[in-house]
Structure 1
C-alpha cells in the first residue's frame, strides 16, 4: 500500500458531508477515545452521561440510538474515502476518537483519527487493500464497540448491526453517488455489492456470517409511502425515546404495513 495524506478538498468533503473532524471538540463531557468504549466502567459511565440526550436513562433504547449515530459516524467517512476517493483510512479503535458536537437540539458526534494518513492500493491489489480497510472499520472497531455495549444492557446483536446496516445502505444507495463520475460509480457499486453479499464474516469480527447480508432485503412499496423502502428485521426501540408519542420509524416491523 502507498501512504499519502488527505488533500484539502478531501478534508473539506469529509468534514462537511461525512461526519469527520480533524480537531478535538471543546465538549469533553461527551467526547472520548473510542478505546474507552471497550472498558466496562468507562463505557458505562459514558453511556449514562449520553442517555439523557435520547430522553431516557441507560437502557436498551439509549444504547440502540447511540449505535445508530456511532455506526454512521465511523462508516460514512471511511466508506466514502474507500469507494469514491480510492483512499483508505485507518478506523481501528486505537486510532479513533468520538468528538461531540451539537446542532441546535441535535447531537451530531463526529469521528477524529489520531493518524489521518491515507493509503492507496497498489496496482492489481485493490481487493486485498479493500479487505484491510473493511477489517479495520468493522472487526477492529464497530464489532468490538457493539460487543462491549451489549454487556451494559439486554440488547441483541441483530438490532445493533441493523442500526449500522441501514445507514451503510443509505450511503451507497442514496448519498455517495451524487456528483460521482462514471468510474467512481462503478467502483462504488462494486464495493457495495462486495460489502453486503460477498465479504467474509471475519472482516466484520464475526465467526459465521456477514452481519450486513441478512438485512439487505428487497424494498417494498406500501400505501403510506410513494417510494419503495426496506422493512427492518428488528425494532430499534426509537419509540421508547418518545414518551407519550410512541413514534415508530417508517420501516419499523412493529408497524402494520399495507403493501401494494
Structure 2
C-alpha cells in the first residue's frame, strides 16, 4: 500500500526536508548511493572528497558532519513517517543517492548533500503496532544505518558514540514536548520516544545495547533529549564556533573562570 506517498502530508514532508523523488540531477557535482557508503573504500574516498568540498579541516570532521546530514535528510523523515503519520516508508539504499547540486548558490548556498529517493514503498501498521514498530526500527537502524555509521567511524575516524549522538540530535526534536505541530499524535510520539530511547533492545540498532539511551534524561516522568550533548561533533573545528549544545562550552566557561 503506497497511498501515503500520494498524500499532501507526504508531499509537505518531502518539501520540508528538500527530498528529491526520482533520480538525482544529471548535472550534480557529485552523487553517491547510500549503499556505497557501507563499503569502506568508497566511503573513505567520498569523505575525503567531501572534506575539501565543504572546507573541513580533516576527514574526522567531514565524517561527523556527514552523519549529521544523514540524520536530517534520511532518518528524521522516516521516523516522522512512523511516529507522526503512522506509516512505514521503506527505501532501497541502491536507489537512494546523496547528491551535490551543480550550483551551491541555487541550493541555498550549502555545499552539503541532498537526498534523492527512488523505489519507495509505504505501509500502515497491523493490529499489533508494537511488533510493527520493532520491525520498522530494525530496518531503519540495524539493517541500514548501523553498517553505514560503522564505516564512517573507521573512515573518519570518529568515535561511534559521536555518530549516534549526531543522529539523535536530528530526530529528538520530532518528539519534543514543545513540538506543538505534533500535538495530534502526542500519545503515540511519547510512546515511540520511550521505546526508541529507553526500552528498545540494542539488537534493533545493530548494537549490544541501545546507543541512544545515554543521550536522554527523564523530565516529569518522560524521557527527553539532554540539554547538553555528551560528545562533541567537532563542528567548532570547521566553523570557529560551538554548537549550542556542545559540551565544550561549559569547559570553556570553567577555564575562563579560573
Bucket of the pairwise TM-score, normalised by the shorter protein: 0.7 to 0.9
Q: Deviations over 1:10-42 (max 9, x none)?
A: 331221113432133325443221111112222
TM-superposed deviation, 1:218: 5.9
Point out where structure 2 has 5 or more consecutive residues left out of the alignment.
220-224
Measured on the aligned residues, the alpha-carbon RMSD in Å equals 2.5
Find the aligned partners of 1:54 and 1:112 in 2 and give their Cα distance.
20
User: Which segments of structure 1 move beyond 4 Å, counting only runs of 4 or more?
Assistant: none
Whose helix proportion is higher, 1 or 2? 2
Find the aligned partners of 1:56 and 1:18 in 2 and give their Cα distance.
23
Map residues 1-80 of structure 1 onto 2, 5 A cutoff: 3-5=1-3, 6-26=5-25, 27-56=27-56, 58-80=58-80
Find the aligned partners of 2:116 and 2:180 in 1 and give their Cα distance.
24
TM-superposed deviation, 1:251: 1.5
Given that 1:48 and 1:57 are in contact with CA atoms closer than 8 Å, whether structure 2 keeps it comes out as no
TM-superposed deviation, 1:190: 1.2
Number of aligned residues: 242
Length-normalised TM-score, structure 2 = 0.84
Find the aligned partners of 1:178 and 1:239 in 2 and give their Cα distance.
31
Given that 2:22 and 2:118 are in contact with CA atoms closer than 8 Å, whether structure 1 keeps it comes out as no
Find the aligned partners of 1:247 and 1:72 in 2 and give their Cα distance.
21
Find the aligned partners of 2:182 and 2:230 in 1 and give their Cα distance.
31
Find the aligned partners of 1:202 and 1:92 in 2 and give their Cα distance.
21
**What is the SS of the residue equivalent to 1:85?**
coil
TM-superposed deviation, 1:229: 6.4
In structure 2, the CA distance between the partners of 1:180 and 1:71, relative to structure 1 (3 Å rule), is closer
**What is the SS of the residue equivalent to 2:49?**
helix
Q: Deviations over 1:191-232 (max 9, x none)?
A: 1111111111111111x210111011368xxxxxxxx96111
In structure 2, the CA distance between the partners of 1:95 and 1:209, relative to structure 1 (3 Å rule), is farther
Find the aligned partners of 1:13 and 1:174 in 2 and give their Cα distance.
22
Given that 1:19 and 1:76 are in contact with CA atoms closer than 8 Å, whether structure 2 keeps it comes out as no
Find the aligned partners of 1:196 and 1:91 in 2 and give their Cα distance.
23
State yes or no: 1:154 paired with 2:157.
yes
TM-superposed deviation, 1:249: 1.2
TM-superposed deviation, 1:126: 0.7
Length-normalised TM-score, structure 1 = 0.83
In structure 2, the CA distance between the partners of 1:230 and 1:21, relative to structure 1 (3 Å rule), is same
1:250 to 231, 244, 248: 244
Aligned to 2:222: none
In structure 2, the CA distance between the partners of 1:174 and 1:202, relative to structure 1 (3 Å rule), is same
Aligned to 1:119: 123
Point out where structure 1 has 5 or more consecutive residues left out of the alignment.
220-227
Q: Deviations over 1:142-174 (max 9, x none)?
A: 211111112212211011111111111122217
